[in-house]
Structure formats: structure tokens, C-alpha cells
Amino acid sequence: MWTRRSGLGWVLVLALSLGIAGMATPGHAQERGEIPEISNAELMFEQGLAAYERGEYETAYERFRLVNEFELNRKTTAALLMGAKALVQLRRYREAVDRLNALLNRYPETTYRQEAKALLERAEDRVQDGTQARDTLRIGVTLPMGGARASLSQALFNGIRLAVEEHNGLRRRFLRPSGLQPSADTFGVYDTEEGHRDSLSEAEGATTVAASTDTTQVDSMRVVTEQVGGADWVAKVRRDRVDVILGPIGSAAARPAAQRAEGAEVLLVAPVATDESVSKGRDHVFQANPTILTRGRVMARFAKNGILLDRAGIIYEPGNSYSKRMAEGFQEAARRHDLEVPLTIPLQNSRDWSRLPTLIEEDSTLIETDSIRARRNSATTDSLVAVPEAYYLPVSGREAAGKIQGALTGMRQIFPEKRALGNAEWHDLSFVDVASSVAATYTNGFFVQTDRPAVQRFVRRYRMLTGTTPDELSTDGRRLAYTGYDVARFLLSVLSPSPTRLDPQTLRTAPTYEGLGVRIGFEGENRNQALFIHRYWNKRIELLR
């Protein structure tokens, strides 16, 4: 998908293809089969071919363009190729690239494929060489296309697509159903499959209604590569000259993709991967979703600088990797920000969250301090647990809400009047009165304020595009729809087209982006450092930051 506007334009490349004169003309070699012959189209093609051979390239292009305004016929693909050749002769390289991409994407089995790919490659070289000013930002999207994750890919892709369309001023509206009273608004119906190369509208089986000012070309979910582990992954990235890649979903797929993008020196932004290894030691790879360690670090930093705590204890589950990593991140940041962690309480299993009073009473050596653990009497234990002003409880895994409820019940028995600190699993708890009693404060990576006009506009536009709203998707699908939109909008707001590779420092130093559902701020790092901070207070949830 790409777009062009006067001045500086943008492009989202979703069907990344390959592309000057001097090649054999197609003539009458159009594929036949069941494709109809249209006499007027045949005439226009012959006139265009004659004009091309006379060197009248403007006239030739116009004739070939008219051929493509007819429905599919025996000269359709030949006219697309010859029109591109005429544009190359006119040094209108970007338009030639657009036309060749349309040929290759719409008719992948065309007999002109190899010739079109070679022509496209040469035309793109002219664009890259500065023969025509670079006015597009090329965003590649790499997503899983099969299995259970296909629906999640579609949700993420839909969000990306809406962000690019909005950036480029495309307006999409439903055709007013018959029987409704006309309003002051006016609608124009356009064949976006033919006029704007919108193959998604055809695939979805729905009429797309768009304003006449549409300039965006949209294609279906053909991406940089469907299998990022494929041997030709790097070659495709280099060949298609994408500026930045968005994807894949999840850390397992993002790791090999990140390795290849780094080798190709192409920016890659993983939208939801949380494992530190994805971007560790890499210059061109970024993670838009705060990592598990980062979540603990941000909570510790806010505890010290936002709540003004001096001492905080930690209760965590070493057998749960997420809980353990958040606890490690909290301890690491606490040391850096002079927040004392006088004790930690590691739990042996998930059931222990609801057994805190019993566990501590039965085995006081469960408590870890900076000194060597030793048997303590009850008075010493009571003194130890009273030292922290708050306790950090990074809860994760199945039945997280039940674990939190059990832990809070125990806390109120053994740590009365102590504050609770948590993570995203603490959001939207049903027992708000209990959470409010300990002023539970927590970090959260995803938060949608449904009363915001911008959110309501997004929901309407998403429904116009897909027939459903994000809220009708699965929990993961809803989050990915918003995340795709926010990450794409962030990239469009900070990256500019350039004939050279984009500087990763641009993303690291960009101001924090306030999205519809996520915040993105790298703060000099390659991992997002921006999270929402919430608090339970007076039996409701407040947004502190």
C-alpha cells in the first residue's frame, strides 16, 4: 500500500514486488483462456503501440491507460506493462513502479512476470538514484498468514492500514442504505478495486465507498515474506528497499526476523514482542511493547519518584518466568534509584499467593533479606515485614485475579496499611473496594479510553473497513488492532522519506507518542519505556500517568 501527495508523501508497501525500455513489446502475447476480447480495448492498444513505436510516449501512455479502464480483457496485462514502459520513457519512474506493482500483484501468473520484474527493478533503481525525488516512506509488514494466528495478523494489519489511510487523507464511508432520508452529507461510489487497486474490498465481499480524493493504493495481506525464517528473507528486504518493517507477532517469530533485519540494516519494530533478546545488542531493531523486565523497572522508578517511597518489599513467584523477570527488573531499578528493597518473599507455587499469613508464620526463613537467611522468631519476623512502605506483587499466569485477591486478603492481615504495587494483571479487578483499601498502584501497557473522540472515530472507521468493531474481536485481536494503528501512526509521525537508510537514533530520541491504546517512548533505548500508571482509589480506577 502506498500513497503520494503534493510535497512530501508516504507509502506503505504491503505487496512488495520487483520492475526500462529496450525490452520486447508484448504485442499480441496476452494470455487467452476465457478472457474476453473487447474491440474498443483492442483498438486503443494498437493505437498506443503505434504511438510508442513513433516515440510519442505521452500519447502511448494515455491509450494504454484507457485500455485498463475496460473490464478485464485480452489486452489488460499487456497495457499495464506497455503503459509502464511509456512512463519510464517519460521519466515518471514512480508512476511506472506503481503500474508494475499493480500488474504483478493483480495478475501474479501473467506471462509478462519476468519482464515486469526486471523493468520494476530498474525503475526502482532510478528512484533510488535520485532521478526522481524520494517522496515515499516504504513500510514492510511481516505477519504469520496461516493457522490460528491469521486472525490476529488481520487485526494488526487492519490497524496499520487505517493509520496509513488516515495519514494520507483517505476517507472511507458506507453506501447509504436505500430507504433512509438523505442527509446533508454526500456520497460518491468508486470502484476501488480498479481505480485504487483495493483488492481487499473484493476479498471481503463488500462494496467500498470512498471519496474521489482517495490517493492510497491498498493491497491484500501479501507481505515482505510470509515465512520470516525463509532463506530469501534478507534478499526480499533489500530488493524491495523498505525503510522500516513492522512485525512479526510474538517474540519467537521476532527473533529470527530481527537478526535478518539487523544484517540488512533495515529498521524493524516488533509491535508486541516482550522478550529482551529480540532487540538485545542490535541497533536497528526496536520493541514497541515494553519488555517484562522494563515493566518491573518502570514500577520501581515510579514508586521512588512518583509515590516518593523509600522502602518496598517484593512478593513474587520464582516458578513463573514473567513474575520472576518483573521482580528482577524492579530490584535492578530500585538499586539505580535509591529505593531500598529490605526483603523479598519468593513463593513456591501459585497457591501460595492466598496463603501468605500461614506461610510466614510457619516458616519465617521464607523471607529473604540482604543478610544470610536464618531462623527468626515471630517478633523479628513482624519487625521485618513492617519495614517496607509498600509491596510489589508481580502476578502473572492463569487465574491472575484470584491470586491477587488472595494476596490482598493476606496482606491486610499481616501488612496492614501497606500499599500494594502491581502490573497489568491488576487492571479492571472486580474487587475494587479491597484494591482501593491498599491504594493498589500498577503499570499497564494497554489502555483505551472509550470516551475519547479519537477512539470513537477509530472504532467507526474500523467497522467501515471490516464490518465489525475492535470490541467484537478476541482480547488479543482487539489489542492488536489498536497496537497496529498506534505503532504505524508513531512511525509516520517521526520518520521521513530519505534516499539513504533511516537513522535508528530517530526512533530512540523521538518524543513519547500518546496513542489510542499504547504509549511509545524509547527514551534513548531500543525498547519502549512508556507505560500507563493506574491506582485504585475510592472504589474506582484512576489514571495517574
C-alpha torsion 223→228→234→235, nearest 10: -50
Cα–Cα distance for residue pair 233/254, rounded to 1 Å: 13
Q: How much is the average pLDDT of 291-309?
A: 96
Which of 444, 469, 500 is where one domain is finished?
A: 444
Q: Is the pLDDT of residue 7 over 60?
A: no
Q: Residue 296's pLDDT is what? A: 97
Inside any domain, residue 543: no
Q: Residue 29's pLDDT is what? A: 43
Contact (CB, 8 A) for 270 and 247: yes
Inside any domain, residue 285: no
In the DSSP assignment, the letter for residue 450 is T
Inside any domain, residue 507: no
Mean pLDDT value across the chain:
78
Cis amide linkage into residue 248, ω under 30° from 0: yes
CATH code for the domain in which residue 42 is found = 1.25.40.10
Q: Residue 394's pLDDT is what? A: 96
Q: Residue 166's pLDDT is what? A: 83
Q: Is the pLDDT of residue 221 over 70?
A: no
CATH code for the domain in which residue 333 is found = 3.40.50.2300
Q: Residue 129's pLDDT is what? A: 64
Which of 105, 136, 167 is where one domain is finished?
A: 136
pLDDT band, very low/low/confident/very high, at 380 (cuts 50, 70, 90): low
Which of 418, 444, 470 is where one domain is finished?
A: 444
Domain count, the chain: 2
- Domain containing 391 equals 293-444
Angle at Cα 163 formed by Cα 158 and Cα 164, nearest 5°? 100
Inside any domain, residue 76: yes
What tens digit of pLDDT does each residue of 516-541 get?
Answer: 999 999 999 999 999 999 999 999 99
Beta strand 368-369 with 390-392: parallel, antiparallel or unpaired?
Answer: unpaired
Residue 178's φ and ψ, nearest 5 degrees, are -65, 145
Inside any domain, residue 242: no
> Which cell numbers hold the place of 404?
491477587
Q: Is the pLDDT of residue 186 over 70?
A: no
Window from 112-116, 127-131, 254-258 with minimum mean pLDDT: 127-131
Per-residue H/E/C for 112-176: CHHHHHHHHHHHHHHHHCCCCCCCCCEEEECCCCCHHHHHHHHHHHHHHHHHHHHHCCCCEECCC
Inside any domain, residue 147: no
Inside any domain, residue 272: no
Which H or E element spans position 493? helix 475-494
In the DSSP assignment, the letter for residue 14 is S
Inside any domain, residue 238: no
Q: Residue 420's pLDDT is what? A: 94
Residue 232's φ and ψ, nearest 5 degrees, are -95, 15
What tens digit of pLDDT does each residue of 419-439 get?
Answer: 999 999 999 999 999 999 999
In the DSSP assignment, the letter for residue 268 is E
> To the nearest 5 percent, what fractions of the chain are helix, strand and coil?
45, 10, 45
> Which cell numbers hold the place of 263?
544484517
Q: How much is the average pLDDT of 41-63?
A: 91
Beta strand 312-316 with 343-346: parallel, antiparallel or unpaired?
Answer: parallel
